[in-house]
Amino acid sequence: MINGLKRLVNWIIHTQIWLSIFRQGWPNTERNRILTILNTCLFHLHPLKVRTSGLKVKYTFCLGGISMFLFIVETITGVLLMFYYRPTVEYAYQDMKDLEFAVTFGLFLRNMHRWAAHGMVLTVILHMCRVFYTGAYKPPREYNWCVGVVLLVLTLLLSFTGYLLPWDQLAFWAVTVGTNMAKATPIMGAEGPFHILSEMSDMCFYLRGSVNISENTLLRFYVLHCIALPLAAVVLMSIHFWRVRKDGGISGPL
C-alpha cells in the first residue's frame, strides 16, 4: 500500500506535465529552495532572503500585505457584482435589490465588497502610519512613499466612486455634496476664488458630466470605479512592491 503510493507519487513527479510546471526538484536542499523561489511566478515576487527583523509581525503588522489582500477581495467580489449590476438610472437601484434578494449569495457579495472597502481604507492609512513611525519614508525609500501617497488617493477615489453606484438616497446626496465641493476649487470651480469658468464648464461639471448628478455621472463613476482606477492601482502597486525590493527590502529597525 505505502509502496504503491510512493510509486504513484514517483510516477506523477516524472510526468511531462509535472516537469513542465515545476522545473526544479523537491525543495529540500538549499539549491532547490532557491530555484523554487526563482522559477515560480508568484514566489519570485518575494526576495530570496529577507532580514529576520523584517519578518517580525510587530514591525510591519502586515498592513501593506493586508491592504493588497483586501484589494484582491475587492476585485473578485467587484467583478462578480458586475455580472448583475447595470449602471443606469433605470436599473441601478433595482439591481442592488435583486442582488440582495434574488441572486445566490448576492447579499453576502455586496456586504463583503463593502466591508473590504472600508477595511482597505483603514489598513492603507494604518500602513502609512506604520511606515511613518518606523521612519521607512527616509532615503532611499522616499520615492516609494510618494508612490504610496498616490495609492492612498486611488483607494479613497475608489471608495468615493463606488459609493454612488447603489443609487439610493444616501449615495445620491453624499455624491451631490462631495462633487459640489469641487465648485469651490480656486480658478477651476464656478464658485471658488478667482473663478473664470461657468457652471457648464467647471471642475464639478467635468466630474458629474452634467450640471446635476445624472445618468452621465453614474456611468462616469462606474467606468472609473470598475476600470480606470483599479487599473491605475494595479500598475502603481506593481511599482510599489518592486521598489520595496530595489530599495533593499523592508527597512530595518531604527
Partner 1 sequence: MESGDKKLTVDIIDKPARRGLLLIIGWVGFLFFSLVAGLLTTVDFFKPKVIFGPSSRFKAGFPDEYLVGKVSTRWMKEKGVWIIRTERGIYAFLAICRHLGCIPDWVEEEHLFKCPCHGSNYNLEGDVVGGPAPSPLFRVVVSYAPDGQLVIDKSIKEDRVGVREKGQFFLPV
Q: What track of x and - describes contact with ligand HEM for positions 138 through 177 (by CB under 6 A)?
A: ---x--xx--xx-xx--x--xx--xx-xx-----------
- Is 222 one of the binding residues for partner 1 (CB under 8 A)? no
**Judged by CB, which is closer to partner 1: 8, or 187?**
187
> For residues 122 and 66, is the Cβ–Cβ distance under 8 A?
no
Identify the residue among 60, 112, 182, 208 touching ligand HEM (CB under 6 A): 60
Identify the residue among 71, 85, 205, 221 touching partner 1 (CB under 8 A): 205
- Is 201 one of the binding residues for partner 1 (CB under 8 A)? yes
- Is 80 one of the binding residues for ligand HEM (CB under 6 A)? no
Buried b (16+ CB within 10 A) or exposed e, 11-50: eeeeeeeeeeeeebeeeeeeeeeebbbeeeeeeeeeeeee
DSSP string, 33-48: HHHHHHH-HHHHTS-S
Cis peptide leading into residue 27 (ω within 30°) = no
Q: Which of 189, 57, 193 is CA-nearest to residue 130?
A: 57
Sites for partner 1 among residues 156-195 (CB under 8 A): 173, 176-177, 180-181
**Judged by CB, which is closer to partner 1: 185, or 216?**
216
> For residues 165 and 225, is the Cβ–Cβ distance under 8 A?
yes
**Judged by CB, which is closer to partner 1: 159, or 210?**
210
Q: What 3-state DSSP class applies to 94? A: helix
- Is 110 one of the binding residues for ligand HEM (CB under 6 A)? yes
> What is the contact surface with partner 1 in residues (CB under 8 A)?
173, 176-177, 180-181, 201, 205-206, 209-212, 214-216
